[in-house]
Protein backbone atom coordinates (compact mmCIF):
# COMPACT_ATOMS: atom_id res chain seq x y z
CA UNK A 1 0.00 0.00 0.00
CA UNK A 2 1.57 3.27 -1.11
CA UNK A 3 0.84 6.73 -2.35
CA UNK A 4 1.00 7.89 -5.96
CA UNK A 5 1.09 11.57 -6.92
CA UNK A 6 -0.75 11.95 -10.21
CA UNK A 7 -3.42 14.18 -11.74
CA UNK A 8 -5.83 14.46 -14.63
CA UNK A 9 -6.39 17.53 -16.80
CA UNK A 10 -8.57 20.14 -15.02
CA UNK A 11 -11.48 19.60 -17.42
CA UNK A 12 -11.60 15.83 -17.04
CA UNK A 13 -15.10 14.40 -16.60
CA UNK A 14 -16.44 12.93 -13.38
CA UNK A 15 -16.36 9.45 -14.94
CA UNK A 16 -12.70 9.88 -15.87
CA UNK A 17 -11.86 11.00 -12.34
CA UNK A 18 -13.73 8.05 -10.79
CA UNK A 19 -11.95 5.55 -13.04
CA UNK A 20 -8.64 7.28 -12.33
CA UNK A 21 -9.10 7.13 -8.55
CA UNK A 22 -10.27 3.51 -8.67
CA UNK A 23 -7.23 2.34 -10.65
CA UNK A 24 -5.01 1.53 -7.66
CA UNK A 25 -7.47 -0.59 -5.68
CA UNK A 26 -8.68 -2.24 -8.90
CA UNK A 27 -5.11 -3.28 -9.76
CA UNK A 28 -4.61 -4.71 -6.27
CA UNK A 29 -7.83 -6.75 -6.34
CA UNK A 30 -7.18 -7.90 -9.92
CA UNK A 31 -3.73 -9.15 -8.91
CA UNK A 32 -5.29 -11.10 -6.05
CA UNK A 33 -7.82 -12.69 -8.41
CA UNK A 34 -5.02 -13.73 -10.79
CA UNK A 35 -3.17 -15.45 -7.92
CA UNK A 36 -6.43 -17.10 -6.81
CA UNK A 37 -7.07 -18.51 -10.30
CA UNK A 38 -3.49 -19.79 -10.48
CA UNK A 39 -3.94 -21.44 -7.08
CA UNK A 40 -7.04 -23.22 -8.42
CA UNK A 41 -5.26 -24.37 -11.57
CA UNK A 42 -2.30 -25.68 -9.53
CA UNK A 43 -4.42 -27.18 -6.75
CA UNK A 44 -2.71 -30.57 -7.10
CA UNK A 45 0.69 -29.02 -6.26
CA UNK A 46 0.07 -28.39 -2.60
CA UNK A 47 3.11 -26.26 -1.68
CA UNK A 48 2.82 -24.05 -4.79
CA UNK A 49 -0.92 -23.64 -4.21
CA UNK A 50 -0.29 -22.62 -0.60
CA UNK A 51 2.15 -19.90 -1.66
CA UNK A 52 -0.26 -18.57 -4.30
CA UNK A 53 -3.08 -18.50 -1.74
CA UNK A 54 -0.96 -16.36 0.59
CA UNK A 55 -0.26 -13.92 -2.26
CA UNK A 56 -3.95 -13.86 -3.25
CA UNK A 57 -4.98 -13.29 0.36
CA UNK A 58 -2.46 -10.45 0.75
CA UNK A 59 -3.75 -8.62 -2.33
CA UNK A 60 -7.48 -9.19 -1.91
CA UNK A 61 -7.50 -8.49 1.82
CA UNK A 62 -5.67 -5.23 1.15
CA UNK A 63 -7.91 -4.00 -1.66
CA UNK A 64 -11.34 -5.09 -0.38
CA UNK A 65 -10.95 -3.65 3.17
CA UNK A 66 -9.61 -0.44 1.59
CA UNK A 67 -12.98 -0.04 -0.15
CA UNK A 68 -14.97 -1.03 2.93
CA UNK A 69 -13.29 1.19 5.51
CA UNK A 70 -12.98 4.26 3.30
CA UNK A 71 -16.67 3.82 2.43
CA UNK A 72 -17.52 3.52 6.12
CA UNK A 73 -15.54 6.70 6.82
CA UNK A 74 -15.61 8.50 3.44
CA UNK A 75 -13.01 11.20 3.83
CA UNK A 76 -10.07 12.21 1.62
CA UNK A 77 -7.28 11.52 0.91
CA UNK A 78 -8.59 7.96 0.52
CA UNK A 79 -9.54 7.25 -3.09
CA UNK A 80 -12.94 5.79 -2.18
CA UNK A 81 -13.80 8.85 -0.08
CA UNK A 82 -12.92 11.07 -3.04
CA UNK A 83 -14.97 8.88 -5.39
CA UNK A 84 -18.01 9.16 -3.10
CA UNK A 85 -17.54 12.93 -2.94
CA UNK A 86 -17.62 13.06 -6.75
CA UNK A 87 -20.66 10.77 -6.98
CA UNK A 88 -22.66 12.61 -4.34
CA UNK A 89 -21.82 16.13 -5.51
CA UNK A 90 -23.22 18.68 -3.08
CA UNK A 91 -24.77 16.00 -0.85
CA UNK A 92 -22.93 14.40 2.06
CA UNK A 93 -21.68 10.85 1.28
CA UNK A 94 -22.84 9.56 4.68
CA UNK A 95 -26.08 7.65 4.28
CA UNK A 96 -26.12 7.93 0.49
CA UNK A 97 -27.00 5.08 -1.86
CA UNK A 98 -23.48 4.90 -3.38
CA UNK A 99 -21.99 4.56 0.11
CA UNK A 100 -24.44 1.78 1.00
CA UNK A 101 -23.69 -0.05 -2.25
CA UNK A 102 -19.94 0.08 -1.63
CA UNK A 103 -20.33 -1.00 2.01
CA UNK A 104 -22.41 -4.05 1.09
CA UNK A 105 -20.40 -4.85 -2.05
CA UNK A 106 -17.12 -4.87 -0.11
CA UNK A 107 -18.34 -5.92 3.36
CA UNK A 108 -19.64 -9.34 2.33
CA UNK A 109 -16.43 -10.33 0.44
CA UNK A 110 -14.41 -8.92 3.36
CA UNK A 111 -16.06 -11.18 5.96
CA UNK A 112 -16.51 -14.25 3.77
CA UNK A 113 -13.10 -13.90 2.14
CA UNK A 114 -11.29 -13.69 5.47
CA UNK A 115 -12.73 -16.99 6.67
CA UNK A 116 -12.41 -18.71 3.29
CA UNK A 117 -8.75 -17.79 2.86
CA UNK A 118 -7.89 -18.77 6.44
CA UNK A 119 -9.60 -22.12 5.82
CA UNK A 120 -7.78 -22.70 2.52
CA UNK A 121 -4.39 -21.71 3.93
CA UNK A 122 -4.85 -23.94 7.00
CA UNK A 123 -5.94 -26.79 4.73
CA UNK A 124 -2.70 -26.37 2.75
CA UNK A 125 -0.60 -26.25 5.92
CA UNK A 126 -2.16 -29.47 7.23
CA UNK A 127 -1.66 -31.12 3.85
CA UNK A 128 2.02 -30.18 3.74
CA UNK A 129 2.92 -30.84 7.38
CA UNK A 130 1.11 -34.11 7.91
CA UNK A 131 1.08 -35.61 4.40
CA UNK A 132 -2.67 -35.49 3.96
CA UNK A 133 -3.62 -36.52 7.49
CA UNK A 134 -5.34 -34.43 10.16
CA UNK A 135 -3.11 -32.84 12.76
CA UNK A 136 -3.53 -33.75 16.40
CA UNK A 137 -5.59 -31.24 18.47
CA UNK A 138 -2.53 -29.79 20.23
CA UNK A 139 -0.75 -29.37 16.89
CA UNK A 140 -3.83 -27.73 15.33
CA UNK A 141 -3.93 -25.23 18.18
CA UNK A 142 -0.29 -24.19 17.83
CA UNK A 143 -0.35 -24.10 14.02
CA UNK A 144 -3.47 -21.93 14.00
CA UNK A 145 -2.00 -19.67 16.66
CA UNK A 146 1.49 -19.27 15.18
CA UNK A 147 0.73 -19.40 11.43
CA UNK A 148 -2.66 -17.67 11.24
CA UNK A 149 -3.97 -15.93 14.35
CA UNK A 150 -0.84 -14.12 15.55
CA UNK A 151 0.70 -12.99 12.22
CA UNK A 152 -2.71 -12.30 10.68
CA UNK A 153 -3.87 -10.16 13.61
CA UNK A 154 -0.53 -8.35 13.86
CA UNK A 155 -0.56 -7.49 10.15
CA UNK A 156 -3.66 -5.36 10.64
CA UNK A 157 -1.71 -3.05 12.94
CA UNK A 158 1.11 -2.45 10.44
CA UNK A 159 -0.84 0.27 8.61
CA UNK A 160 -2.09 3.54 10.07
CA UNK A 161 -5.62 3.78 8.72
CA UNK A 162 -5.80 7.42 9.77
CA UNK A 163 -3.56 8.17 6.79
CA UNK A 164 -6.26 6.77 4.54
CA UNK A 165 -9.32 8.15 6.34
CA UNK A 166 -8.37 10.73 8.99
CA UNK A 167 -10.39 10.25 12.18
CA UNK A 168 -11.24 6.57 11.71
CA UNK A 169 -8.92 5.56 14.55
CA UNK A 170 -7.90 1.96 15.16
CA UNK A 171 -11.33 0.44 14.46
CA UNK A 172 -10.17 -1.21 11.19
CA UNK A 173 -7.14 -2.72 12.96
CA UNK A 174 -9.23 -4.17 15.79
CA UNK A 175 -12.00 -5.47 13.51
CA UNK A 176 -9.52 -7.00 11.05
CA UNK A 177 -7.49 -8.64 13.81
CA UNK A 178 -10.62 -10.06 15.43
CA UNK A 179 -11.79 -11.47 12.08
CA UNK A 180 -8.55 -13.46 11.78
CA UNK A 181 -8.65 -14.65 15.40
CA UNK A 182 -12.32 -15.67 15.14
CA UNK A 183 -11.70 -17.51 11.86
CA UNK A 184 -8.77 -19.37 13.46
CA UNK A 185 -10.93 -20.34 16.46
CA UNK A 186 -13.65 -21.74 14.19
CA UNK A 187 -11.08 -23.67 12.16
CA UNK A 188 -9.89 -25.44 15.31
CA UNK A 189 -13.21 -27.33 15.31
CA UNK A 190 -14.38 -27.08 11.71
CA UNK A 191 -11.89 -27.11 8.84
CA UNK A 192 -11.91 -28.12 5.18
CA UNK A 193 -11.43 -31.81 4.33
CA UNK A 194 -8.00 -32.90 3.15
CA UNK A 195 -7.23 -34.60 -0.14
CA UNK A 196 -5.34 -37.73 0.81
CA UNK A 197 -4.60 -38.62 -2.79
CA UNK A 198 -2.03 -35.87 -3.13
CA UNK A 199 1.65 -36.40 -2.53
CA UNK A 200 3.83 -33.58 -1.28
CA UNK A 201 6.85 -32.85 -3.43
CA UNK A 202 10.07 -32.29 -1.52
CA UNK A 203 11.71 -28.92 -2.21
CA UNK A 204 14.71 -28.90 -4.53
CA UNK A 205 17.53 -26.40 -4.98
CA UNK A 206 15.54 -24.78 -7.77
CA UNK A 207 12.72 -24.08 -5.34
CA UNK A 208 15.22 -22.36 -3.06
CA UNK A 209 16.71 -20.33 -5.91
CA UNK A 210 13.25 -19.23 -7.06
CA UNK A 211 12.21 -18.32 -3.50
CA UNK A 212 15.27 -16.20 -2.79
CA UNK A 213 14.96 -14.55 -6.22
CA UNK A 214 11.45 -13.47 -5.32
CA UNK A 215 12.70 -12.14 -1.99
CA UNK A 216 15.27 -10.06 -3.89
CA UNK A 217 12.65 -8.63 -6.26
CA UNK A 218 10.49 -7.66 -3.29
CA UNK A 219 13.35 -6.19 -1.26
CA UNK A 220 14.76 -3.93 -4.00
CA UNK A 221 11.54 -1.95 -4.66
CA UNK A 222 10.93 -1.76 -0.91
CA UNK A 223 14.34 -0.15 -0.38
CA UNK A 224 13.62 2.34 -3.17
CA UNK A 225 10.22 3.23 -1.72
CA UNK A 226 11.64 3.78 1.76
CA UNK A 227 14.29 6.15 0.36
CA UNK A 228 12.93 8.66 -2.15
CA UNK A 229 10.13 6.74 -3.78
CA UNK A 230 9.96 5.71 -7.43
CA UNK A 231 9.49 8.60 -9.86
CA UNK A 232 8.70 8.78 -13.56
CA UNK A 233 9.11 12.10 -15.41
Mean pLDDT computed over 8-26: 90
Check whether 94 has a pLDDT greater than 90: no
Judge whether 179 lies within some domain.
yes
Q: Does the residue 226 lie in any domain?
A: yes
Host domain of residue 208 = 204-233
Residue pLDDT, tens place only, 120-129: 989 888 887 7
pLDDT in tens, 194-221: 876 665 566 678 878 988 898 888 888 7
Residues 155 and 168 in one domain: yes
Mean pLDDT to the nearest integer, 155-168:
88
Burial per residue of 48-65, b for 16 or more beta-carbon CB atoms within 10 angstroms, e otherwise: bbbbbbbbbbbbbbbbbb
- Is residue 195 one of the residues assigned to a domain? yes
Higher per-residue confidence, 104 vs 199: 104
Residue 150 shares a structural domain with residue 216: no
pLDDT at residue 206 in the model: 86
Q: Do residue 106 and residue 190 come from a single domain? A: yes
Residues 225 and 170 in one domain: no
Cβ contacts of residue 10 below 8 Å, gap of 6+? none
DSSP collapsed to 3 states, 166-217: CCCCCHHHHHHHHHHHHHHHHHHHCCCCCCCCCCCCCCCHHHHHHHHHHHHH
Q: Is residue 125 part of a domain?
A: yes
Verify that 187 and 219 share a domain, yes or no: no
Residue 4 belongs to some domain of the structure: no
| Of 111, 104, 94, residue with least CA distance to 180 | 111
- The reply to whether 137 and 150 lie within a common domain is yes
pLDDT band, residue 118 (cuts 50/70/90): very high
Range with the poorest average pLDDT among 53-67, 115-129, 177-191? 115-129
> So what's the pLDDT on residue 115?
94
Same domain, 29 and 83: yes
pLDDT at 90 over 80: no
Claim to verify: residue 157 and residue 225 sit in the same structural domain: no
Task: Tell me, yes or no, whether 186 and 228 share the same domain.
Answer: no
Q: Give residue 70's pLDDT.
A: 94
pLDDT digits (tens, 9 = 90+) for 1-11: 566 777 888 88
The values of phi and psi at residue 12, to 5°, are -65, 145
Same-domain check for residues 129 and 218: no
Q: What integer pLDDT is reported at residue 41 of this predicted model?
A: 92
**The total number of structural domains that make up the chain:** 2
Are both 192 and 231 inside the same structural domain? no
> Does the residue 192 lie in any domain?
yes
Query: Is 5 among the domain residues?
Result: no
The pLDDT of residue 196 is: 67
My answer on whether 70 and 171 are in the same domain is yes
Amino acid sequence: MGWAYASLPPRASTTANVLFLAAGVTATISSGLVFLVLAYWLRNRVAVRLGLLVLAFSCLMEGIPYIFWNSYHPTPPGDIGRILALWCGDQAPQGSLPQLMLLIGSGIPFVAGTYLFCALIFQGIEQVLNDGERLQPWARFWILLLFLAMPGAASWFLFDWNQLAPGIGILPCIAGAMSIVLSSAILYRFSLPLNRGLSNQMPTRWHLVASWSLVFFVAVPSVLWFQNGVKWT
